[in-house]
Chain A
Amino acid sequence: MNTQPSIVFEKVSKRYYIGKRHVFAQQLLPEFIQRRLAQRSTVDELWALQDVSLEVHPGEALGLIGSNGSGKTTTLSILAGITAVTHGSVAVSGRVGALIQLGAGFHPELTGRENIYLNASILGLKRAEVDRIYDEIVEFAELEKFMDTPVKRYSSGMYARLGFSVAIHIKPDILLVDEVLSVGDMNFQSKCQQRMRKMMSDRIAVVFVSHNLPSVQGLCDRVVWLDRGKIRASGKTSDVVAQYMDAMNDRALSTRNSDYFGTRWGSGDVTLTKVDLIDQNNQITKKLNYRDTATVRIEYQINKSLPGVIFRLWIQDVTTGVIVTSADSIRGEKIGDFGKRGVVEFIFPNLPLRPRNYSLSVVAVSTDLLIPYDRWGSVITFTVSSSNIERESGYVHGQQDLVEIPYQVRTYRCD
């Protein structure tokens, strides 16, 4: 791209002081005293960003991903002029429309209408200019009935809708969007995505922060992955997202015996000795390709004479916890049919899961489903990779769904 970048971040670092009140008070003192005090203790420092360099050009969307506390919101705050960098330099050219952590800077006591005017005038618009765009703002936010209600009575979705609508209608040159879309409903989310794409074609630069990887993939040309204030990876969206998902996957696995993942409990009458995910090449894996055939192999040991046992598994979306699907072994099987030790395999031909992170949980339970013998939550966390997805015809980037149900399309002409 041969244009002037809209945003240039050069070796930006940002330090926060955390915790104690006297640390804030120090900032009131002249700098030479501050420096003296800083030498004495460095315990209350937190580097939210370290040596971060990035550029965004007009018409381009940059995605910021990373876990909580990785510095995404700090980056946006710096871009919006809310806070200053500690080291490095920032250049932002053009008007910035920003939505940081839900609120676009609304005053809770004021009505929606008053807030539109207030917000727009904070962003530097004249009253007459706001008059012109007022109806569009309200219409886009779908809040016609609530304009005279104080925004403190708004739901978080309404709040985000109004904030987003104001931010895009003030004719920004740069749009900063922080996780707001996740509180809106699906319709609104896709409406926002469409609008952002249109704005990008009007040469507006977008910085988009989200935990929702499909929407990052759907919108962004490039992605920067922040990890504890540093750039872990940056580049083409599909590459960085794939790396990120791998890392999340590994982390989930390494913590699977902790309280959060892999809670395991049960009566102990049956022990699940081993659970594996196997791909179509018969390899144990944590990573499947889209529409691969997958097999879950469960090895067990029965410790007591039982009337029967049911094996059940379920697959959850890691981000949302939504149960995507579940499967049962045939009910009422006699214990003899299983043997003291054995293997149960669940085979999923052309596993119709969208590219995301999933967790697999397994339970051996009594035939009346009342007594779990061995329940092993999130025993495996696996990724459905998008690497082979471009070749698949049925997949559209940015889709939010988890599962693909086979379907056919018919068309008829009626003219």
Chain B
Amino acid sequence: MDKQLSIGQKNTLVQKVKILVHYRELIINWAIRDIRSRYRQSFMGMGWLLIQPVFQIIIVSVIFGYFIKVPSEGMPYPIFYFAAMMPWMLFQGMISSAVPSVLNNMALVSKIYFPREILPLASILARFFDFLISLGIYFVLMMVYKVPLQITLVLIPVLLILQTILALGISLLGAAVSVFVRDISFAIPLVMQLWMYATPVIYPLDLVPEQWRWLYLLNPMAGVIDSYRRILLYGEWPDLIYLASAAFTSLVLCLFGYWYFKKLEITMADVL
């Protein structure tokens, strides 16, 4: 594989992925480091992983569930909200940590060669740890509100894979571009906020008027988040058309993102 490094530019996609597999240990180590370092300097440490979502559930539930009375399809609003917020937080977390990952490690990038996509990839992997904690909160909520768990939740991994592919595509594009145009790092929080409102997180999909729904569902996350609600709360199968279209968009974005990232990779170290 060392030979391949020198001619890295000309490798096929398969070879590039093979090289990446060779680096799996680095990816995992980097992800673990990411998790550790994120909370290392704070007093509450990992506690923040609990405090943040809990407060968010309380605030959003009071405002949207209690004051504004957003319909929640017969579920207690906190559960209704959290079943969507949990995967959304994962998605948002993946993108907002993966996009600046190359820029944040320029010191390393300018000194030593390794496949640069390891950086966004590890940031994305690290977020699964947060997701596990959220999943714990979810189970507790279900118990508190005495809502039965559904067998369909075994489908969670399918949805996870789908949204990870999507996050990866966007992150690779964002990470590559932000090295050259730093504005991207500033735009990301805003974009993610807007995107959340364009996704059925705090409201149900039914709220979107029937005639606009096709347009709405061009947002691949809309189908994904709706599917989460179905499998987590109602024991229903996800809508396969929604999912298929989301999968298609995600895959195309991911492949394009990877290709574009690899194209720019070699020039990244030239930007100082």
Residue numbers in B under 8 Å from A122 (CB-CB): 26, 108, 112, 114
B267→A83 contact, CB < 8 A: yes
Contact A124 B1 (CB under 8 A): yes
Q: Which residue of B lies closest to A119 (CB)?
A: B112
B138 at the interface (CB under 8 A from A): no
Task: Using A28-B181, A80-B113, A91-B6 as known contacts, say yes or no to A107 and B269 having CB atoms under 8 A apart.
Answer: no
Q: B2, A124: Cβ atoms under 8 Å? A: yes
B112 touches A24 (CB 8 A): no
B85-114 contacts to A, CB under 8 A, are 105, 107-114
Question: Is A329 an interface residue when CB atoms closer than 8 A count as contact?
Answer: no
Point out the residues of chain B lying under 8 angstroms from A94, CB to CB. 2-3
Chain A, 92-117, CB within 8 A of any chain B CB:
92-96, 98, 100-101, 103-110, 114, 117
Most buried by B among A101, A110, A118: A118
Most buried by A among B22, B107, B111, B181: B111
The answer on a CB contact under 8 Å between B112 and A83 is no
Q: Assess whether B33 is in contact with A114, with CB atoms less than 8 Å apart.
A: yes
Measured in the bound complex, the distance between the Cα atoms of B108 and A100 in whole Å is 11
What DSSP secondary structure best describes chain A's contact surface? Answer: loop
Complex: chain A residue closest to B182, CB-CB: A21
Quick one: which of B37, B177, B269 contacts A83, CB cutoff 8 A?
B269
- Which A residues are CB-close (under 8 A) to B8? 81
Asked if A117 meets B112 with Cβ closer than 8 Å, knowing A28-B180, A95-B2, A109-B37, the reply is: no
Q: Is there an interface contact between A84 and B112, defined as CB atoms closer than 8 Å?
A: no
Nearest CB of A to B240, in Å: 37
B25 touches A103 (CB 8 A): no
A27 partner residues in chain B, CB cutoff 8 A = 180, 264, 267
Known pairs A100-B111, A122-B114; A84 contacts B9 (CB<8 A): yes
**Once bound together, how far apart are the Cα atoms of A96 and B6, in whole Å?**
10
User: Is B56 in contact with chain A by the CB < 8 A criterion?
Assistant: no
B270 lies within 8 A of chain A by Cβ: yes
Is B62's beta carbon under 8 Å from chain A?
A: no
Question: Does B155 have its Cβ within 8 Å of any Cβ on chain A?
Answer: no
CB contacts (< 8 Å) of A98 on chain B: these are 111-112
Question: Is B5 in the interface zone, CB < 8 Å from A?
Answer: yes
Contact with B along A38-51 (1 / 0, CB 8 A): 00000000000000
Of A24, A83, A117, A126, the contact of B266 (CB 8 Å cutoff): A83
The docked-state distance in angstroms from the alpha carbon of A17 to that of B180 is 12
What is the CB-to-nearest-CB distance from B38 to chain A, in angstroms, rounded to a whole number? 11
Tell which of A104, A114, A126 touches B111, judged by Cβ atoms closer than 8 Å: A104
Within 8 A of A (CB), among B139-197: 177, 180-181
- Determine the residue in chain A with the shortest Cβ distance to B271: A24
A127 interface residue, CB < 8 Å from B? Answer: yes
Most buried by A among B25, B112, B114, B181: B112
The smallest beta-carbon distance between A154 and chain B, in angstroms, is 14
Known: A28-B264, A122-B114, A124-B23. A83 touches B108 (CB 8 A): no
Interface centre among A77, A108, A110, A124 (most CB of B within 10 A): A124
Which one of B2, B7, B26, B111 contacts A82 once the chains associate, using CB atoms below 8 Å? B111
| Interface check A90, CB cutoff 8 A | yes
A-side contacts of B112, CB under 8 Å:
80, 82, 98, 100, 104-105, 119, 122-123
* CB-defined contacts of B271 to chain A, threshold 8 Å: 24
Contact with A along B1-28 (1 / 0, CB 8 A): 1110111110000000000001101100
Verify A105–B108 contact, CB threshold 8 A.
yes
Q: Tell me the bound Cα distance from A382 to B227 in angstroms.
A: 81
The verdict on A117 contacting B111 (CB below 8 Å), with A25-B180, A91-B6 known, is no
Give the CA-CA distance A90 to B30 in the complex, in Å. 30
Chain B residues closer than 8 Å to A121, beta-carbon distance: 23, 25-26, 29
Q: Among residues 145 to 171 in chain A, which have CB atoms less than 8 Å away from a CB atom of chain B?
A: none
B108 touches A117 (CB 8 A): no
The 20 listed contacts between A and B (C-beta, < 8 Å) are A16-B270, A21-B181, A24-B180, A77-B110, A77-B269, A81-B6, A82-B269, A83-B267, A92-B5, A93-B3, A93-B6, A94-B2, A105-B108, A107-B108, A108-B107, A119-B112, A121-B25, A121-B29, A122-B114, A127-B25
Known: A105-B108, A106-B108, A110-B33. 11 other contacts (CB 8 A): A17-B270, A81-B8, A82-B111, A83-B267, A91-B6, A92-B5, A96-B113, A105-B111, A105-B112, A119-B112, A123-B112
Chain A residues close to B by CB (< 8 Å): 16-17, 21, 24-25, 27-28, 77, 80-84, 90-96, 98, 100-101, 103-110, 114, 117-119, 121-124, 126-127, 173
Residues of B within 8 A of A (CB): 1-3, 5-9, 22-23, 25-26, 29-30, 33, 37, 105, 107-114, 177, 180-181, 264, 266-267, 269-271
